[in-house]
Amino acid sequence: MPAFGQRPIQITADLTDAPRKVYHADAEIPVAAGPITLITPQWIPGNHRPTGPVSDITGVVFTANGQTLPWRRDDVNLYEFHLTVPEGVETLHAHLDCIVTARVSQKLAVLEWEKLLLYPADTPVREIAIQPSLKVPAGWGIGTALTPVSSGTYPVPAAGTTTEFAATNVEQLEDSPVITGEYFHEFALAPTITPKHYIDVASDNPEDSNLRPAVLAEISNLVREADALYESHHYHVYHFLLTLSDVAGGEGLEHGQSSNNGVGEKGYADDDHTLSNADLLPHEFTHSWNGKYRRPAGLYQPDFATAQQGALLWVYEGMTEYLGDVLAARAGFETQGQYRDELAMMAAQLDYRTGRDWRSTEDTAVAASDLRGGNPAWSNWRRGQDYYQEGELLWLDADTLIRKMTNGKKSLNDFLRIFLAKGGNTGPMIVPYKFDELVEDLNAVVPYDWAKFLHDRIDNINPHADVAGIEQGGYKLVFQDKPTATERTMNRANGPRMSGPDCWFSIGIRVSNDGMIGDVRWNGPADKARLAPGEKILAVDGKIFSGDALREAIRTAKGSSEPIHLIVQADSFVNLADIDYHDGERFPALVRADGTPDTLDEITKPLTTPEKAPAEAKKDDE
């Protein structure tokens, strides 16, 4: 391909129409005369699937020397645009719009650059130079890890019309989102740590983006804890980008030098909500090391057109899930007790995931691009993206095993300082790995048959979840007749619409507070009573359905021989169903195993001296 050389594409993203759900872009693309193919991204890093925006791209017009040039879409690869550049033309102008309905509201917007990118196909994206500029609505603040040309530092200066950023390449620009908003705050974090860290917050309400001192202290703790845990970094600067909005949607998307995070308006407004979002920032931050810097070879392709392969997602996501939860506790987003309660819920969910009888954890990773989202019906039998939580249990197992084999002298921390720190401190870059490197680095910590350890847990059909880490950690997974304090707090924070009565481990259904059945546990008591996802429970034991009425019926049936009587609406018919279940309510919890060391609490102890806002120190609920 000629002439893309050193002259960068110049792209200007125009977000001034963001409240109307459309972004615009104009790009000057260096070209040579002759046929050219431009392409827009398809396989988006971090999404692990082909979520490129091609179906939302509209208003595409190419011009050169004032003339509009005809184009034709490729008949097979719909992401490609073919056109012919006339003689004498060295710069092609491209305009496009993208319809954007998520991560945007009347008061804020997030730009992931793949929505606006067009660049030469068949060239590795890291070899295509590009210089970005940005227009936002007047008075809106800007947060990004891109370097502003005018100041070279942060906050990004309030520009009159257009803010210019330093040239980079297409791979890095795709990895450098922008947040902008009317109610915007940028806070510097953990001032003793280099390089610099910031959190940029945009909210729909003026007061929300001014985060509480306690939350800022926890985020600064997170920066210090990650610094102590990973003993390396792979960025020149790090920006947590955060939206607080009930409109812009939830998000957690990792990038090398930033992360794109979205929670509800009140997501960090009090301790209950903070607990529900405890692992979000630690998880996405950890990805800068695990996922962005170190990436499974199959998930790193030279362009955004080649399919990504997910087989090692139980490392990319699974280990990040483990470290994110551990860091959430170490940084103070949650207490050690809340960490254990959440671990109990997670392990119990996996142990009762009936699909584990037919498909391995590895298969959920290989099929990842097909498993995200989708219909909840029978999802326990299908399995979902279980490599996240299965990976968490696996890495907890490995961590506690290393501690046990070395009498507490070594831990997974030592593995991380090998695996995630190769090359020392670097700027943003991607160093791919394969399975054998994991085994080699684990062996460098403590010799063991790590290949068998990993294969047994990941590749095999395992009818039960891996609770060895919990047991090596000094605890047992049990079921009690009351939910843990943490489960009650999370239900309170999630609100009555999201949290129906928890009867998954008893009669085996997920049901909302208005009686809609989301899922039925395969082979569970409700399955045997022929209930199905999508049905609606109208009445229970002669009373109109409510979450409380169902829970009372489950308690009443305990020790009795009388089944639980339901009246159920199925499509346009009404059925009777009897659930023959008599073991009462069941909620997961961890209890101490007598005479064993409390390794779980040892794992979640901070490595650094925590910074706490006065009078905000948390304690475990009763």
Which positions from 270 to 309 touch Zn ion by CB under 5 A, shown as an x/- string?
A: ----------------------------------------
- Residue 92, classed as helix, strand or coil, is strand
- Please state the closest distance from residue 315 (CB atom) to Zn ion, in A: 11
Residue (383 or 403) nearer to Zn ion, CB: 383
For Zn ion, which is the closer residue by CB, 118 or 420?
420
> Nearer Cβ to Zn ion, position 242 or 554?
242
For the CB of residue 235, give the shortest distance to Zn ion in the complex, in Å: 17
* Min dist. Cβ of residue 241 to Zn ion (A): 15
Closest separation between CB of residue 261 and Zn ion, Å?
Answer: 11
Pairing state between β 431-433 and 294-296? parallel
Distance CA 219, CA 212 (A): 11
C-alpha distance from residue 440 to each of 114, 419, 489 (Å) = 36, 10, 42
Task: State how far the Cα of 379 lies from the Cα of 372, in Å rounded to an integer.
Answer: 11
- Residues numbered 317-336 forming contacts with Zn ion, rule: CB under 5 A: 317
Q: Which tokens go with 90?
A: 């060295």
Least distance in Å: CB of 319 to Zn ion?
Answer: 10
- Least Å distance between CB 140 and Zn ion? 28
Nearer to Zn ion, 8 or 45 (CB): 45
Shortest distance (Å) from residue 114 CB to Zn ion: 18
Q: Which residue is nearest to Zn ion (CB)?
A: 317
Kindly indicate which of the ranges 54-62, 73-81, 94-102, 310-318 contains the residues binding Zn ion, using the contact rule CB under 5 A: 310-318
Span near Zn ion by CB under 5 A; candidates 4-12, 216-224, 313-321, 525-533: 313-321
In the complex with Zn ion, the residue whose CB is nearer, 317 or 441, is 317
- Residue 71 to residues 51, 74, 82, 275, 571, Cα–Cα distance (Å): 23, 10, 6, 51, 49
Cα separation of 25 and 98, whole Å? 8
**Nearest-10 crossing angle of helices 336-351, 485-498:** 70
Q: How far is the CB of 268 from Zn ion (least distance, A)?
A: 19
- Closest approach, Cβ 30 to Zn ion, in A, equals 36
Nearest to 314 by CA among 395, 207, 218: 395
At its nearest, how many Å lie between Zn ion and the CB of residue 320? 5
Toward Zn ion, which CB reaches closer, 169 or 364? 364
**C-beta of 348: minimal distance to Zn ion in Å?**
22
Q: Are 580 and 563 in contact (CB under 8 A)?
A: yes
C-beta of 31 vs 319, nearer to Zn ion: 319
Q: How far is the CB of 323 from Zn ion (least distance, A)?
A: 11
Q: Which residues pair with 58 in a beta bridge?
A: 97
The interface with Zn ion within residues 589-618 (CB under 5 A) comprises none
CA–CA dist 388, 584 (Å, integer): 30
Specify the residue, 287 or 403, whose C-beta has the smaller distance to Zn ion.
287
- The alpha carbon of residue 311 and the mean position of all alpha carbons in its chain are separated, in whole angstroms, by 18
Q: How far is the CB of 552 from Zn ion (least distance, A)?
A: 39
Span of 30-38, 124-132, 155-163, 314-322 interacting with Zn ion by CB under 5 A: 314-322
- Beta bridge pairs of residue 253: 260
Query: Quick one: which segment of 17-25, 311-319, 536-544, 567-575 binds Zn ion (CB under 5 A)?
Result: 311-319
Residue from 549, 87, 620 nearest 339 by CA = 620
The site that binds Zn ion (CB under 5 A) totals a number of residues, namely: 1
| Residue 115 DSSP code | G
Please compute, for residue 458, the number of CA atoms within 13 A of its CA located in the half-sphere on the CB side: 25
- Positions in 493-522 near Zn ion (CB under 5 A): none
d(CA 554, CA 214): 41
Residue number, 218 or 317, with CB nearest to Zn ion:
317
CA 546, distance to chain mean position in Å, is 33
Considering the complex, what minimum distance in angstroms separates the CB of residue 283 from Zn ion? 6
In this chain, which stretch among 179-187, 198-206, 316-324, 328-336 interacts with Zn ion, using CB under 5 A?
316-324
- Residue 71 to residue 35: CA distance in whole angstroms: 10
3-state secondary structure 456-482: HHHCCCCCCCCCHHHHHCCEEEEEECC
Buried b (16+ CB within 10 A) or exposed e, 434-455: ebebbbebbeebbeeebeebbe
The contact pattern for Zn ion, residues 564-593, with x = CB under 5 A and - = no contact, is: ------------------------------
Measure the CA–CA gap between 229 and 324, rounded to whole angstroms: 12
Residue type, 159: A
Our CB check for Zn ion shows the closer of 317 and 325 to be: 317
Q: Point out which span in 58-66, 130-138, 197-205, 315-323 binds Zn ion (CB under 5 A).
A: 315-323
Q: Which residues contact 68 (CB under 8 A, 6 or more apart)?
A: 61, 62
Give the whole-angstrom CA distance, residue 514 versus residue 546: 7
How far from the centroid of its chain's Cα atoms is residue 459's Cα? 24
**Closest to Zn ion by CB, 373 or 559:** 373
Looking at residues 381 to 420 of the shown chain, list those that interact with Zn ion (rule: CB under 5 A).
none
Nearer to Zn ion (CB atom), residue 217 or residue 229: 229
Q: Which is nearer to Zn ion, 156 or 438 (CB)?
A: 438
User: Looking at beta carbons only, is 317 or 363 nearer to Zn ion?
Assistant: 317
Mark residues 32-71: x for contact with Zn ion by CB under 5 A, - for none.
----------------------------------------
Rg value, the chain, Cα: 26
Instruction: Name every residue whose Cβ is closer than 8 Å to that of residue 617 and which is 6 or more positions away in sequence.
Output: none
For CA atoms 247, 253, 258, 264, give the dihedral sign: positive
Whose Cβ is closer to Zn ion: residue 24's or residue 48's?
48
Residue 281 Cβ vs Zn ion, minimum distance, rounded to whole Å: 12
Question: To which H or E segment does residue 23 belong?
Answer: strand 22-30
List residues binding Zn ion (CB under 5 A). 317
